[in-house]
Amino acid sequence: MDAAEFRRRGKEMVDYMADYLENIEQRPVYPDVEPGYLRSLIPSEAPLEPDNYDDIIKDVERIIMPGVTHWHSPNFFAYFPSASSYPAMLADMLCGAIGCIGFSWAASPACTELETVMLDWLGKMLKLPEHFIAGTHGRGGGVIQAHSSVERASLIGGIMMRKVPTDNTYAVGGGMLKKMLEEDKAAGLIPFYFCATLGTTPSCAFDHITELGPICNEENMWMHIDAAYAGSAFICPEFRPLLNGVEFADSFNFNPHKWLLVNFDCSAMWVKKREDIIGAFKVEPLYLKHENQESGLVTDYRHWQIPLGRRFRSLKMWFVFRMYGLQGLQAHIRKQVALAKEFESLVRADKRFEICAEVVMGLVCFRLKGSNDLNQLLLKRITNSREIHLVPCQLSGLFVIRLAICSRSTDSCHIQHAWRHITQLSCELLQDNH
């Protein structure tokens, strides 16, 4: 395929992308395939000679699409949102053409420098404390990471980890942390790291970081704050108070690829003193050295992360921030929170159901009053209907259903439809179980 052929096929692909997203609602949100479905549709070996491009595109509809869970369908309410916007897709296309690997400043200065500046922009949107901003003289700064879980990190590092029990709002408070620290120290252990969560995955609970922060600082523990989903909302002044206490943290992260319209992957992390993180991972072969690094002026992001290679991901942030503007991004957050509140009202108005956690952002945790089995059955029927897609969580031993506002195109009509569908399946279920 030469450049001329790419121009033709690329434009067809742009139309395919737009068609897919414009008509996504017509597809069942959750695929009706059995494990192993794909292998039988595809040859067992790569072709010796080139296939025809038209056949490949036909196979996208024949083989791929029937097995896709449509995360950007307005009927997708599972997990948390995965961001999707047209400006981000355009930037990703550009990223693919430039195709540079930004492991060091010299490997592509623009790739490194735009990232630093975009993390500054974003940090300022969230009104992060000054020490997290790189600027020209700062000692902190931001980086795009691949996200994982603190539980997995402790497995890999061979570190003993204890979960701090939560209060009745599913949040961690200072008293409980203090108690556990005393226990650990009495047992001869050395507490050195605490991870607080703002917007937990099961119920979007917020740890009390204004209580937790001073304790971590006193005990000389590294405090990390993970706001994976909820962080995006802190660009709105009305949600920013939930981030109060971040000034105590050594590091902070959230995922613009969840709720800030920057396509996956884009997990933003800031550190107070970048020396801390650079020293931990440094590996420095001669073929990656470059003369500018001695100046102390440059950032070599390979020292900030586990992998070596890096894509030019900050282009996505740049395109999205500029094409939406802060106000456009705020409007997106507020719209989705309002939709969650709308769903909450519908649930509260039906006596057969209960709300299981405070609805602060775009997540509603609810269940049928009754047994876990009943709710498990309800979710199974929802999943099998393929009209909407949700996943469960566990709160205080209860099986709870989560509805997260996910797609950029979700509107009030989809919320109303989802509720009608849930109540209809519930009626059938309650009758069957009667």
Whole-number minimum distance, CB 260 to a copy of itself, in Å? 11
Nearer to a copy of itself, 396 or 416 (CB): 396
Nearer to a copy of itself, 53 or 192 (CB): 53
Nearer to a copy of itself, 63 or 176 (CB): 63
**What is the C-alpha separation between 434 and 429, in angstroms, rounded?**
8
Q: Is 331 in the site for a copy of itself (CB under 8 A)?
A: no
Of 337, 345, 331, the C-alpha closest to 363 is 337
Binds a copy of itself by CB under 8 A, chosen from 61, 167, 179, 326: 326
Q: Is 307 in the site for a copy of itself (CB under 8 A)?
A: yes
**What is the C-alpha separation between 120 and 142, in angstroms, rounded?**
7
CA atoms within 13 A on the CB side of 385: 19
Binds a copy of itself by CB under 8 A, chosen from 38, 161, 189, 427: 38
Q: Among residue numbers 52 through 91, which ones bind a copy of itself (CB under 8 A)?
A: 53, 56, 60, 63-72, 79, 82-90
**What is the C-alpha separation between 284 and 282, in angstroms, rounded?**
6
Nearer to a copy of itself, 133 or 198 (CB): 133
Nearer to a copy of itself, 264 or 419 (CB): 264
Q: Taken in order 125, 129, 130, 132, is the CA torsion positive or negative?
A: negative
Binds a copy of itself by CB under 8 A, chosen from 5, 54, 182, 411: 5
| Number of other residues whose CB lies within 10 A of the CB of residue 194 | 24
Q: Among residue numbers 143 through 202, which ones bind a copy of itself (CB under 8 A)?
A: 146-149, 151-152, 155-158, 201-202
Instruction: Specify burial of residue 283 (Cβ count, 10 A radius: 0-12, 13-18, 19+).
Output: exposed
Nearer to a copy of itself, 149 or 244 (CB): 149
Contact segment (CB under 8 A) with a copy of itself among 184-192, 268-276, 306-314, 366-374 equals: 306-314
Which residue has tokens 């226990």?
A: 183
Nearer to a copy of itself, 152 or 434 (CB): 152
Q: Among residue numbers 365 through 394, which ones bind a copy of itself (CB under 8 A)?
A: 380, 391-394
Whole-number minimum distance, CB 92 to a copy of itself, in Å? 5
**What is the C-alpha separation between 163 and 60, in angstroms, rounded?**
44
Instruction: Specify burial of residue 367 (Cβ count, 10 A radius: 0-12, 13-18, 19+).
Output: buried
Q: Among residue numbers 243 through 302, which ones bind a copy of itself (CB under 8 A)?
A: 257, 263-265, 280-281, 283, 285-288, 291-292, 295, 297-298
Q: Is 327 in the site for a copy of itself (CB under 8 A)?
A: yes
| Angstrom distances, CA of residue 354 to CA of 347, 359, 368, 398 | 7, 12, 6, 12
Nearer to a copy of itself, 280 or 413 (CB): 280
Q: In this structure, what is the dihedral angle of CA atoms 63, 66, 404, 200, given to the nearest 10 degrees? A: -40
Whole-number minimum distance, CB 37 to a copy of itself, in Å? 7
- Alpha-helical runs (H) found in 159-235: 174-186, 209-218
Nearer to a copy of itself, 164 or 215 (CB): 164
Whole-number minimum distance, CB 425 to a copy of itself, in Å? 17
| Number of other residues whose CB lies within 10 A of the CB of residue 192 | 11
Residues 6+ apart with CB under 8 A from 310: 101, 102, 103, 111, 144, 301, 302
Q: Is 237 in the site for a copy of itself (CB under 8 A)?
A: no
Contact segment (CB under 8 A) with a copy of itself among 94-102, 188-196, 216-224, 410-418 equals: 94-102
Whole-number minimum distance, CB 28 to a copy of itself, in Å? 13
Residues 6+ apart with CB under 8 A from 395: 170, 202, 203, 356, 357, 365
Kindly report whether the peptide bond that precedes residue 54 is cis, defined as omega within 30 degrees of 0.
Answer: no
Q: Is 353 in the site for a copy of itself (CB under 8 A)?
A: no
